Chain A
Amino acid sequence: MTPVTDEGALRTALTDLAAADQPDQPRDRLNAVRRRHLRRRAFQAGATAVVAAAAVVAGLLGTSAVGGRATEPLHRSAPGWALQWPDHRDGSVPQRVLDGAVTAWRAGGGDSHGVTPLPKPLAVVWYAGQTVASGRAVVAVFEADLGTSRRLVTATALASDVLNRHRPGTLSAPRPWTVHDAPAPDPQAPPALVGAYVRDQQPFDNWALVLTRPGNPQLTWSASGAAGGTVPMHDGLAVFEVGQVRGPVSVALQDQRSAHGTGPAAPVRVGLRGNALSQAPQLAPVADLVLGGNRLVAGMGGQGRGAAADFGLRRSRARLVLIGRCYGPGEVHLVLDDGPFRANLPCDDRQHTVSTGRLRPQPRGHLLFVDAGPLTAWSVTVARP
């Protein structure tokens, strides 16, 4: 018999433990890392103050209809008044915990009724109930029939606040859920999407849970100040990281028809309940910039906080000019890389040009951060004189 030492046994145990059930490597890991890096740089550049989020906030995304097509057959029995969408509860959150979200909503946690507790609903139809943000938060989406009205509710909570505890909560002492509700949509004219915005404990890493009718293979989103991207939908569900959303959000759904060449539906602007910056009205673009004798390197425009633009020129020591124009309250703040160059542009709807001085070589390219208030529209061009 070969003697087995403690250390040998431990090595074997750790190897077994780490090898079993290891998930497939995520295909978008590199992109996720780059997004985190960009957000980290933007954060470190100090372009805006970060509000540390201690609480989870949820909200309904806008429900503007895109198309209003007939829904797919449903694989469950749901009342005719409910959205004919699948039930995405995945078992990661016990039902008694999800029932706590209903209790919290009834107790007055929603934002559309007073503090009088609501009666027990005649029926509750579940659309989602699961952990997100790598298990740090819980999201519940359900529709409740009160007899006289129907409400669509999203509720989120920190997982540590609602899991691993045994008391389900009462109307007088509801669980620590953040709840938003809205009138339930018409199932005959279903909304394009319903979602929850989940603010994570880590200030950069906020998440979205989006529900649509089944059959949409993917969703494309963009937001001023956040990375944006395309995410796959699974039977009408997508959960994805959105970073810090600090401006209007656009979402486009790709349905089965558009997957065959007709392109995604037109983007829909949505506001995130609980995120005031996302609900700013859409401003008209600023007038075109005049380059004069300068040579264009890169340009971007938008509203509110701008995404960081990586414009290359890694080893260059060239002098650049930044040409910008904006209108709205306040100024536009420009920060190059981690701060060796900073400038403010007055928002008087006139063109302004500033010189950066010589660039310092940046092995990974230069980044320009643009920061403005949510009601300020701007356009900035990087050019060589």
Chain B
Amino acid sequence: MVEPEARLDRPSFEGFVANRGAALQRTAFLLTGDWGHAEDLLQTALARVYPRWERIVRDDPEAYVRKALVNTWSSWWRRKWRGELPTAELHDRPGIDPYTDADRRGAVATALGGLPPKQRAVIVLRFHEDLTEAQVADVLGISVGTVKSQTAKALSKLRADAALSGYGAPAAGGE
């Protein structure tokens, strides 16, 4: 008996981790802001989906894993496991050269880290994972309207930060 063709296309858990691990690790990094925490988050999320893989793989495994990733991260910051110290205002960053890539990335990371967790998740899913508003709503378990409002608030905060100015500026050479 020949197995249904669709089944042959389903990735094994091992294959999925090998192929998508790096991309998921990047998403985890944007959520946590730390590569060590990102790997920890990714492994925790993968361990949660591992026993359900046979069922998950019939649909869209990446969406499921992404959802587990965000939910795990949400549970972490709810329990204040981040070890981050919230501050009322961002410190001045004297000496940052806006034309240095490393400084600019650091400034972006700081700006992203300054967002409330839900807004940060919305930004990462919407603009890094390129999900639609409906997909973001599904992952976070919120309404599309909330996704829109959270996106607008987050963009407004990021606009007020100089971190993105280097990315939005015209190419060098322009007057």
Contact = CB atoms under 8 A, between A and B. Distances in A.
Nearest to B155: A6
B22 interface: yes
B170 A14 contact: no
B17 A33 contact: yes
Nearest to A160: B83
A1 B22 contact: no
Could you tell me the dominant secondary structure of chain A's interface residues?
Answer: helix
A237 to B, nearest CB: 17
A4 B168 contact: yes
B90 interface: no
A22 interface: yes
Interface stretch (B1-9, B24-32, B92-100): B24-32
Contacts of B26: 18-19, 22
B83 A135 contact: yes
Q: Which of B14, B36, B54, B163 is packed against the most chain A CB atoms within 10 Å? A: B36
Interface residues of A, number: 45
A9 B167 contact: yes
Nearest to A34: B50
Q: Which of A13, A25, A26 has the most CB of B within 10 A?
A: A13
A238 to B, nearest CB: 16
B47 A4 contact: no
B158 interface: yes
A11 interface: yes
> Interface size bucket, B side?
35 or more
Nearest to A4: B168
Which applies to chain B's interface (DSSP): helix, strand, loop or mixed? helix
B147 interface: no
Contacts, number: 123
B77 interface: no
Contacts of A8: 168
B167 A22 contact: no
A20 B104 CA distance: 11
Nearest to A21: B35
A12 B167 contact: yes
Interface stretch (A36-44, A209-217, A344-352): A36-44
B128 A37 contact: no
B145 to A, nearest CB: 19
Contact of A20 (B105, B124, B174): B105
A76 interface: no
Contacts of A7: 127, 155
Interface in B66-102: 81, 83, 85, 101-102
Given A6-B158, A9-B167, 19 more contacts: A5-B168, A6-B159, A7-B155, A9-B164, A10-B123, A10-B155, A10-B164, A13-B108, A13-B167, A16-B108, A18-B27, A20-B102, A21-B35, A23-B35, A29-B46, A33-B43, A33-B47, A159-B83, A163-B83
- The 8 A-B pairs with the shortest beta carbon distances in the complex, nearest first, are A36-B47, A18-B26, A9-B167, A9-B168, A160-B83, A134-B36, A134-B40, A14-B128
